[in-house]
Amino acid sequence: MTDVFRDRAKALVESDRFNNLVFVVIVASSIAIGLETYDLDEQGLSFLSGLDRVFMAVFVLEIGLRLYAMRLEFVKDPWCIFDFIVVGVALVPQAGVLAVFRVLRVLRAFRLVSRIPELKLVAESLIYSVRGLTAVAMLLTIVIYVFAVLSTVLFSGSGPEGKEYFGTLGRSLYSLFQVMTLESWSNGIVRVLMEREGWWVGVFFVVFIFMTTFTFLNMFVAIFTNTVVALESDSEDGMHTDVRRLMAKVDELHAEIIALRTGAAEHEEQ
């Protein structure tokens, strides 16, 4: 009897209707949390608070059903663990010092990632890209550090602007990060220094931008894109493998049916 209930629970949590309902509740919960940031009266806040309890009850029920239906499969699925942690954080008592955890309810919006296949692919690609992205980030850090030392030596004495932007190594690092993001780099920083030091300042920063903004950004995109393509290829290979196994099973059943028919015909003849 227990297996029957578990099979029904598994069929329920895997059904499209159930998952669509959970998806709608996640969206509604995210919207409700956003509405709490507005200056509402007590009646409005009370309504949103009651609505939040309903949403949490649905989430807890969902996680409970999945735990009951999937058992060990639940622990093996990283997305189920992710959902469990997000819901568990939202259940932390929100009184006294722990009231800060109340704001972490907004993390429930991340559950949309586990419900939309396209977002899951992007998230998984980002996770698998961490190693390559980390190597590129380390190389980018070295380049910025080298240019920061150079710019501190070259521009720290270039008037009040040079002292403000490149007076210390820390200021140089921050200013170069601003230049790398192309935020007011020309009119705000470079043109002022060019008027004091000469045209070569522009060349210095243009070379820095080409080495960081354009080159490393393309490297980040390339690594991430290759990871997405690789995961899609693995997924397609897995689907093809399943199809081949299914076709092999069908061929085996077909051969057994033919053998049974042949044996029955021989038996009738005798």
Q: Are 224 and 181 part of one and the same domain?
A: yes
For residue 264, being part of any structural domain is answered with no
Q: Are 105 and 141 part of one and the same domain?
A: no
Residues 6+ apart with CB under 8 A from 189: 161, 165, 175, 178, 179, 205
Answer with the one of 63, 81, 115 that is the final residue of a domain: 115
Q: Are 12 and 73 part of one and the same domain?
A: yes
pLDDT of residue 146: 93
Q: Are 211 and 182 part of one and the same domain?
A: yes
Phi-psi category of residue 268: left, alpha or beta, with phi > 0 → left and psi -120 to 50 → alpha: alpha
Answer with the one of 115, 144, 178 that is the final residue of a domain: 115
pLDDT of residue 239: 47
Task: Compute how many other C-beta atoms are within 10 angstroms of the C-beta atom of residue 20.
Answer: 11
pLDDT of residue 73: 83
Answer with the one of 115, 143, 163 that is the final residue of a domain: 115
For residue 136, being part of any structural domain is answered with yes
Q: Are 95 and 7 part of one and the same domain?
A: yes
Range of the domain at 198: 131-228
Q: Are 22 and 107 part of one and the same domain?
A: yes
Q: Are 93 and 169 part of one and the same domain?
A: no
CATH number, position 157:
1.10.287.70
For residue 101, being part of any structural domain is answered with yes
User: Which residue in 229, 4, 19 sits closest to 124, CA to CA?
Assistant: 229
Residues of the chain under the 50 pLDDT cut: 237-240, 243
- CB 169, CB 152: distance < 8 Å: yes
pLDDT of residue 4: 75
Q: What angle do the packed helices 16-35 and 2-13 form, to 10 degrees?
A: 60
For residue 217, being part of any structural domain is answered with yes
Q: Are 91 and 6 part of one and the same domain?
A: yes
Q: Are 54 and 29 part of one and the same domain?
A: yes
- Cα torsion at 56, 61, 64, 69 (round to 10°)? -140
CATH number, position 37:
1.20.120.350
Q: How many domains does the chain have?
A: 2
For residue 245, being part of any structural domain is answered with no
pLDDT of residue 249: 61
d(CA 18, CA 115) in angstroms, rounded, equals 11
For residue 202, being part of any structural domain is answered with yes
For residue 268, being part of any structural domain is answered with no
pLDDT digits (tens, 9 = 90+) for 72-117: 888 888 878 888 888 887 777 665 555 556 666 677 777 777 777 7
Q: Are 167 and 73 part of one and the same domain?
A: no
Q: Are 93 and 143 part of one and the same domain?
A: no
d(CA 241, CA 239) in angstroms, rounded, equals 5
For residue 125, being part of any structural domain is answered with no
pLDDT of residue 2: 61
